[in-house]
A and B are shown apart, each in its own frame.
Chain A
Amino acid sequence: MTLLKTGRWITMVGLALLAAVYVRALAFTPLERFQGPAQKIFYLHVPAAWCAMLAMGLVGIAGILYLLLKDPRVDRFGEASAEVGTAFSMVMLTTGPIWAKPIWGTWWTWDARLTLTLFLFLLFLGYLLLRGAVTDPGLRARYSAVLGICGLVLLPFIHLSVYLFRTLHPQPIVLKASAPSLPGDMLVTLLFSFLVFTILYAGFVMQRYALSLLREQAEQHA
């Protein structure tokens, strides 16, 4: 089975499971006492944010590996991961305001985490723009590796700022020093959603990778 087909299958499975996440979140997870139904978006927003961060992290690691190995496959993976990461940051940045309007009373606020995730999105866009602006494949791979590594290093500074500034954004409730402070049912739904989003990420990246491979082959034929 080719990579494209495998990727397509994984994405199909991911999408089917995503429907299951919806069903579980809406029908089989208790309502949050203070936020009511608005809180349900949390099961999409947080995993999407996780995937965007994962994507940026992997773009950076791909950058390091590319500079060490000079392997075009790593570069192709970086490109795929960045594009998929852009999509997930879009999901994060659209679901966030939808939740914030009823809960905070505003679509957007210049809170540290919001601002900096917006910059994560802009970082992805910059990465893709840079790739578009360089024609030579070797040069493009090296440039995007450098930018990816810088982006990866910027992330800890982003996290640092989240803790240093007064913030409206809910603090982490699962990945923190003490035990997760989420009721069991909600935690299961959230973790299930994390898994599904990660599967979707893998499926999308595999398809995107196969696509660049095909494009490169087509260019060689032409």
Chain B
Amino acid sequence: MPDVWRHAWLLARKDLLVEFRSRTAILSAVVFTVLVLMVFNFGRDPTAVAAIDLAPSILWVTFTFAAMLALNRAFQLELENQALDGLLLAPVSRSSIYLGKLIANLAFVATVECVGLPLFALFFNVRILPVLAPLLAVLALATVGFVAVGTLFSAMTARTRFAELLLPVLLLPFMIPPLIWAVLATAALLAGRPLSEAAGWLRLLAAFDIVFVTLAFVLFPATVNE
């Protein structure tokens, strides 16, 4: 088992290094996030709807779309020069390839969220500091859930026609349960409701994470084995 983690970490580091050297994908994702937040700002009538009513949905729709960009990139990267074949020939287990990709994707999405969250608070005048810790927990749990499924699916869609289009079509139905729970939990937190109201949603998010991370971990080898 330690080997799996070591290999996973090596792979994740490779992905992140590639990302860090070029910085195109992460910059595009961040700029995209800012733009989506801006679009939402103009898409509402400030006199009719209070920002706080829309804020949780805006936050989660933005992060969902941003995550989709990151996930599309994950295996596309390996298609150039048949890098994926090289990866599969390397003496590492399939499971560590999945874990490595998952860690890299999580780091990528987390970076985007770290930039997006303060901007969201700024643009929509939402006080996030008093509830920062539970809000971060919601963010983390929901992100793990859909990035876990997304990493599995992007391994499949990368090698199909219309990859960029197919991934959202496959992934969105799976994003909906965690998305609904995350929006409800965020709404409860931002409205200053007691923590216990969000706790139920957090527990559901955690259950979703455990089930789908395990499932994706088990199923991933089937998507890459020749």
B interface secondary structure, majority: helix
* A24 is an interface residue with CB less than 8 A from chain B: no
A130 touches B160 (CB 8 A): yes
* A181 is an interface residue with CB less than 8 A from chain B: no
Chain B contact-residue range equals 20 to 34
Per-residue B-contact encoding for A97-140, CB less than 8 Å = 1, 0 else: 00000000000000000011001001101100110011000010
Nearest-CB distance from B168 to chain A (Å)? 10
A149 touches B170 (CB 8 A): no
- Choose the segment among B32-40, B44-52, B57-65, B174-182 that binds chain A (4+ C-beta atoms closer than 8 Å): B174-182
Given contacts A133-B161, A153-B211, A157-B177, contact A146 B156 (CB under 8 A): yes
Nearest-CB distance from B203 to chain A (Å)? 11
When C-beta atoms are compared, the residue in chain B nearest to A142 turns out to be: B222
* B124 is an interface residue with CB less than 8 A from chain A: no
> A125 vs B172: C-alpha distance in the bound complex, in angstroms?
12
* A67 is an interface residue with CB less than 8 A from chain B: yes
Nearest-CB distance from B218 to chain A (Å)? 9
Chain A contact-residue range equals 20 to 34
When C-beta atoms are compared, the residue in chain B nearest to A152 turns out to be: B215
> A133 vs B166: C-alpha distance in the bound complex, in angstroms?
8
| Cβ contacts under 8 Å, A146 to chain B | 152, 156, 219, 222-223
B222 touches A123 (CB 8 A): no
Interface residues of B in 132-159 (CB under 8 A from A): 149, 152-153, 156-157, 159
* B173 is an interface residue with CB less than 8 A from chain A: yes
B173 touches A143 (CB 8 A): no
A143 touches B223 (CB 8 A): yes
A119 touches B173 (CB 8 A): yes
* B108 is an interface residue with CB less than 8 A from chain A: no
* A212 is an interface residue with CB less than 8 A from chain B: no
- 6 CB contacts below 8 A, A to B, read A122-B172, A126-B169, A133-B157, A150-B174, A150-B215, A153-B211
Query: What is the interface of chain B, defined by CB distance below 8 A to chain A?
Result: 149, 152-153, 156-157, 159-162, 166, 169-170, 172-174, 176-177, 180, 204, 208, 211-212, 215, 219, 222-223, 225
